Amino acid sequence: MKKYVKDLTVKAVEFPHELYVLLKLTDKETLPETVPGQFVEVKVEGSPRTFLRRPISINFVDREKNELWLLIKKVGEGTHKLAELKVGDTLNLVFPLGNGFSPVQKEDEKVLLVGGGVGVAPLLDYGQYLKAHGANPVFLLGARSKSDLLEQELFKAIAPVYVTTEDGSEGERGFVTQHTLLNKEHFDRISVCGPKPMMVSVARYAKATNTPCEVSLENMMACGLGACLCCVEKTVKGNVCVCKEGPVFDINDLTWNI
């Protein structure tokens, strides 16, 4: 898939939560082809201490409106600067990068999409893709509390959504792996994106129930192109770049203790 370095225009800036910003980007030309689960590397302007680009997963691609959405958690100086962007500003992207989630495997397959925190971002695009291609996605989303749940209405418009919160303010209380859904239903496969402890525990559930499972990693990155070899993950094939060979990996290819 051809990669581009492009200036996109900020079409909308939304704040779904005080810690997050949603940037809707567009371009005069039709946006390049992307696959759910891929990411972009954005250049942060006006932040002298932010030297490297920031890898951000693609939240959603609206082909009709020619929009690419980035849901960003404000963590450090760079992401805070991104939250200051205004409609009409430009943002320089290198994209699309990495390999996305697996394509649809068979008609009517039931795919559980598990997300935690800002890790829910790529699952919106993936869920939409799965539904459009004849699969049956189901979302299981975890957060600290109700106010941390992001894009709930958008997820619900695609497929059933199950929720856990650590304080019980929405859905079931606890972690995603404690949700009663997992004892009741069988899934053909699972895709996960979120904090590593969450992904490890979902991977354990998948292994124990013999369910194929893929996870999306977010190791610290520099180039995003497989050139600098900084973002490596230990796999059964040795150290590989998360940016190029991932960010999505089959749990059987990783060396996690599951």
Partner 1 sequence: MKNPVMTASGTFGYGVEFADFVNLEEIGGIIVKGTTLHPREGNDYPRMVETASGMLNCVGLQNKGVDYFCKHIYPELKNIKTNFLVNVSGSSPEDYAECAARVNELDGIPAIELNISCPNVKQGGMAFGVTTEGAAAVVKAVREACHKTLIVKLSPNVTSISDIALAVQDAGADAVSLINTLMGMVIDIEKRKPVLSIATGGMSGPAVKPVAVRCVWQVAKAVQIPVVGLGGIMNAEDAIEFLLAGASAVEIGTANFIDPAVTLKVVKGIDEWLDRHGCKSVSEIIGQLDA
- Contacts to partner 1 by CB under 8 A: 2-5, 43, 48-53, 94, 219-234, 238-239, 244
- Phi and psi angles of residue 191, each rounded to the nearest 5 degrees, phi first: -125, 135
Q: Considering beta carbons, is residue 73 or 131 the nearer one to partner 1?
A: 73
Q: Which residues pair with 214 in a beta bridge?
A: 191, 250
CB of 231 to partner 1, least distance (A): 7
Q: What is the dihedral of CA 73, 75, 81, 84, to 10 degrees?
A: 40
CB of 216 to partner 1, least distance (A): 16
CB of 74 to partner 1, least distance (A): 17
CB of 180 to partner 1, least distance (A): 36
CB of 88 to partner 1, least distance (A): 23
CB of 98 to partner 1, least distance (A): 13
* End-to-end Cα separation, the chain, in angstroms: 33
What per-residue string of b and e applies to 168-191 under the rule 16 or more CB within 10 Å gives b?
eebbbeebbbebebbeeeebebbb
Nearest to 113 by CA among 88, 141, 90, 91: 141
Q: Considering beta carbons, is residue 174 or 226 the nearer one to partner 1?
A: 226
Give the contacts of 64 (CB within 8 A, at least 6 positions apart): none
CA gyration radius, the chain: 18
Angle made by CA atoms 124, 9, 55, in degrees to the nearest 5:
50
Which two tokens mark 214? 């893929």
In 10 A of CB 196, how many CB atoms? 14
Q: Considering beta carbons, is residue 198 or 221 the nearer one to partner 1?
A: 221
Q: Considering beta carbons, is residue 51 or 210 the nearer one to partner 1?
A: 51
CB of 226 to partner 1, least distance (A): 5
Q: Considering beta carbons, is residue 59 or 235 the nearer one to partner 1?
A: 235
Q: Considering beta carbons, is residue 51 or 86 the nearer one to partner 1?
A: 51
Give the contacts of 196 (CB within 8 A, at least 6 positions apart): none
Q: Considering beta carbons, is residue 43 or 110 the nearer one to partner 1?
A: 43
Which two tokens mark 174? 């606890």
